[in-house]
Structure 1
Amino acid sequence: MKYKLLENPNIEEAYNLVDTGIRKKAVINIFAYCKVIYEGRALSQLDWGERFIMLKPDGSFLVHQERKIDPVNWQPPKSRSRAIIKENNLILESHRRTPKEKLEVEIEKVHFASFAIAEDYQELELAGYEKDMGDMIMKHPSMIEPGFTPTAREYNTEHGFIDILGKDSEGNLMVLELKCRKAGVNAVKQIRRYLADFEEENQDYLKEVGAEKKKIRGLLVAPDIGEDAKELLEEEGIEFKSVEAPKELKNDKKVTLDIF
């Protein structure tokens, strides 16, 4: 089940939905009459009112009022959330270990609640930067590794466009995913999907480039990588190459790219 939506559920129904959503690592949205208590580096209380509550698979926990962009209360990624029923109300808790913090939302009435399992492997791109990064690699392929030869760019698959395909010096197919900023877990998941596409559906292309009997290498190319993403790379056997995105250098007549 990709998503579920309940209108005016009772407390037990709402609890079951939230508990299922947390276990399934779904995005959970709730519109409810509630109060909010925070304990941590400070103490705060938000008395009863109607608010929008969002829980994300990365541990983020957000409470929004009907005004302002920012949440009125929130917990960052890697926090741990749970739902319990207490005295006929639904209690949502979010705990953070370092620093030690607790956000508790007590819900008396749920107007609607939903969860959705989203597949989104894209990260926000700065306009032009990743294209420039690709141009730079196509022009100087040895910056990836000696003997690397690009064979295709923006190659279409079921899960999106692969930035660069190529072969290494031994004829192994290389799938390159480019990120102009620090790469996260989503980038690793994205390249993992591309590798699965080739293993399952792109044997014709492997034969075309003479790599059907070779292994397929995944390579994430970015200036830096987060610790969570690094751990996932190691688990998946995907490689990482640190490459700085080109910087624009403007002079009186033209724009050039500084690649070193």
Structure 2
Amino acid sequence: MKYKILEHPNSDEAYDLVHEALRKRATITIFACCKVNYEGRALSELNWGERIIMIKPDGTFLIHQEKKVEPVNWQPPKSKTRAYIKNENLFLESHRRTPKELLTVEIRQIQFINYANIEDFEELEQAGYEKDMGDMIMDKPHMIEEGFTPTAREYSVEHGFIDILGKDSDNNLMILELKARKAGVNAVKQLKRYLLDFENTENDYLRECQAQKKKIRGLLVAPSIMDDALEMIEEEGIEFVSIEPPRELKRDKKVTLDAF
């Protein structure tokens, strides 16, 4: 199930949905009356009031009031969430190990609760930077590796566009995903999805690759990569190439980043 919504659930129903969502690594949203306690680098208490609670698959835990952009309470990624029922109310705990922090939310009078398995592999692109990075690679393909020959750009697949298609010196097919900033897990997932899309779609590149019994290589190209993303590419058999994007953007007028 892609998403699930309950209106005015009781605590048991809400607990079951939270437990299911955490197991599925889905994003959870709750609109309810709640009370919040925080223990960690300080102590705080937020008495009863109607608020929006959001829990993300990376462990981020947010509590929003009706005003302001920032959450009134929050826990960062990699926090651990658990749910339980006490005195007929639903409790949510977000625990962080280093530094030691505990955010406890007691919930009653739930208006609605839902979860959604969100698929979003894009990262914010600033000033067309990744396009300029692609232009640079097309002009100087040896930056990827000696013998690399680009054959197509913005190749359409089911879930988006492959940045650059090409072949290596052994005629193996290469699928490149470009990121102008430090690449994270989402970038790896995005490339993996593109690889699956490509392999599951009939096309001339795939037929030629199969006829010649050549490999399909996935390459994540970025200035650097996060540790968890590095672990994931090793598990998925994806390669990483470190390339710095151009410092000068190609526009009608040349504008360097220093100008900002």
User: Shorter chain as normaliser: what TM range?
Assistant: over 0.9
Q: What are the within-5 Å matches in structure 2 for residues 241-252 of structure 1?
A: 241-248=241-248
CA contact (8 A) 1:65 1:71 kept: yes
Unaligned runs of 5+ in 1: none
**2:46: which partner in 1?**
46
1:239 counterpart residue number: 239
Equivalent residue for 2:254?
A: 255
Distance 2:256 2:49 in 1: 54
Q: Which amino acid aligns with 1:220?
A: L
Once the 2 structures are TM-superposed, how far is the Cα of residue 208 of structure 1 from its aligned partner? 4.8
Deviations 1:192-233 (A, max 9, x none): 111112322245323457874100100000011111111100
TM-score (normalised: structure 1): 0.94
Distance 1:212 1:87, change over 3 A: farther
Q: What does residue 187 of structure 2 align with?
A: 187
Cα shift readout 1:33-64 (whole Å, capped 9, x = no counterpart): 11000001111000111110000000000000
Matched residue type, 2:254: V
Equivalence map 1:84-163=2 (5 Å): 84-163=84-163
The corresponding residue for 2:33 is 33
Paired positions, count = 256
Compared CA separation, residues 210 and 153, structure 1 to 2 (3 A)? farther
Q: TM-score by structure 2 length?
A: 0.94
CA distance in 2, matches of 1:195, 1:214: 15
| Secondary structure at 2:44 match in 1 | strand
Runs of 4+ in 1 over 4 A off after TM superposition: 208-212
Change (3 A) 1:49 1:249: closer
Instruction: For residue 200 of structure 2, give the secondary structure of its aligned residue in structure 1.
Output: helix
Distance in 1, matches of 2:142 and 2:255, equals 20
Give the whole-Å Cα distance in 2 for the aligned partners of 1:211 and 1:248.
Answer: 42
**Gap change, CA 1:72 and 1:201, over 3 Å in 2:** same
| 1:96-140 superposed Cα distances (whole Å, 9 cap, x missing partner) | 011111000001211110011111111111121000000000000
Q: Does structure 1 residue 64 correspond to structure 2 residue 68?
A: no
SS of corresponding position for 1:201: coil
8 A contact 1:203–1:212 mirrored in 2: no
Calculate percent identity across the aligned residue pairs. 69
Q: Partner residue of 1:4?
A: 4
Partner Cα separation in structure 2 for residue 215 and residue 203 of structure 1: 15
Whole-Å separation in 2 of the counterparts to 1:254 and 1:49: 53
* Cα distance in 1, alignment partners of residues 195 and 155 from structure 2: 12
